[in-house]
Amino acid sequence: MELMRARAPAKINLTLRIEGRRTDGFHDLASLVAFAGAGDLVFLHPDAPLALEVSGPTAAAAGPDDDNLVLRAARAFAERVPRARLGRFVLEKRLPVAAGLGGGSSDAAAALRLLAGLNGLALDDPRLFAAARATGSDVPVCLDPRARLMRGVGDVLSAPLALPPLSAVLVNCRVAVPTAGVFRALGLAPGAALPGPEHPNGLPQATLGNANALRAFLSGLPNDLEPPALALAPEIGRAMALLAEAPEARLVRMSGSGATVFALTDSCRAAAALARRVLAQQPSWWVKPTVLR
């Protein structure tokens, strides 16, 4: 077979409520997740020995290849699909690492989609979801990268949501913020709940076709990991303040556990103008105008 290819789009947490810490140490969450036009690329050379090569502008920060989530996902797939055909993966890494964009999880999900295609599995095959869960908590929502509500430890997913396209600017100040450290800084004891607004199980009907209504809805639901992330990496606050000062910005928030922040704008033109201005002021930052869906 010829070389196979899949996109691994950035995952954006439009909301992120940490509802509490479970007695097993994991955290229950509720999040409205969307996916960006920006992302990594994953290639598969079928039927070669299982291996991974990482290239691209952010490859150096991706860590050891043998510990990459792409290989973990492939091994989890092989454990659940007897005599599975595998291959050699090539990951073109474009997204910042440890950035709150679910890059590694999206890479792993793209690898699973490629293996599913190679082995004739449907994307709703339960073995694929099981392999995703075994690989990481954000991998299941990235298997079919469309907007959804995510709950539990990332294992309870809504049906895809028809969100209006959201023009946005993604900004990363080149500071890596490991997720585990942010959760430690959150400081919840096992069994404890985190006070805050209740995250709805669905979206108001008016938000599904109206970007203004959706932004108003999002403004009432925070990202609970912003305070601990800001305490660990004050540079995140600088990026958020820079975006908040912009006349184009309608909502500014951090994604995931950081350090990437985003500004929602009225149009792609406004997002592009804002991105140019941020890059002019901070040329070393990673800045991407995009559309979230």
Could you give the CA distance from residue 7 to residue 17 in angstroms, rounded to a whole number? 28
Could you give the CA distance from residue 33 to residue 23 in angstroms, rounded to a whole number? 25
Neighbours of 130 (CB within 10 A): 15
* 122: alpha, beta or left? (left if phi > 0; alpha if psi -120 to 50): beta
| Residue 101 annotated as part of some ligand binding site | yes
Q: How far is CA 143 from the centre of its chain?
A: 11
In 3D, which of 40, 41, 4, 34 has the Cα closest to residue 116? 4
| Residue 102 annotated as part of some ligand binding site | yes
Could you give the CA distance from residue 280 to residue 11 in angstroms, rounded to a whole number? 26
Q: How far is CA 73 from the centre of its chain?
A: 16
Query: Catalytic: 93?
Result: no
Spot the catalytic one: 11, 93, 107, 224.
Answer: 11
Cβ atoms of 160 and 154 within 8 Å: the answer is: no
Spot the catalytic one: 40, 93, 107, 138.
Answer: 138
Cis ω before 259 (30° cut-off from 0): yes
C-alpha torsion angle, residues 97, 154, 190, 100 (rounded to 10): 20
| Residue 106 annotated as part of some ligand binding site | yes
Query: Catalytic: 138?
Result: yes
3-state SS, residue 119: coil
- Tokens 């990482």 locate to 54
**Can you say which residues are annotated as belonging to the binding site for ATP?**
96-106
Which residues are marked as active site?
11, 138
